[in-house]
Amino acid sequence: YEVDEAKLRAFFSDSKILNVRLPLDERGRFRGFGQVDFENRESLINALEKNETKFFNRPIKIQLESQYKQQRTGGGSGGFNRG
């Protein structure tokens, strides 16, 4: 994956971002998912509208943290997942 914070901020340029977290593996490579916190509801809605659109030629899955927790092991953080 070729994702970094700057690319995510550009992708969500129509939204106000508070924070971006991109977990890395033991080799320092992007693990394929992350979390973006938005400043307000309007920014969050703009981001959710981009669900399943292309991000670097792959579909990006955007979901609320509560949805992400339910689909994983019942805990953890939420955000987005690159297909």
From residue 69, give the alpha-carbon distance in Å to each of 52, 65, 74. Answer: 19, 6, 5
DSSP state of 15: S
Predicted TM-score of the model (pTM): 0.74
Q: What whole-number distance in Å separates Cα of residue 66 and Cα of residue 19? A: 17
pLDDT in the model for residue 78: 47
From residue 23, give the alpha-carbon distance in Å to each of 29, 33, 40, 71. Answer: 8, 7, 24, 18
pLDDT tens track for 18-61 = 999 999 999 988 888 999 999 999 999 999 999 999 998 889 99
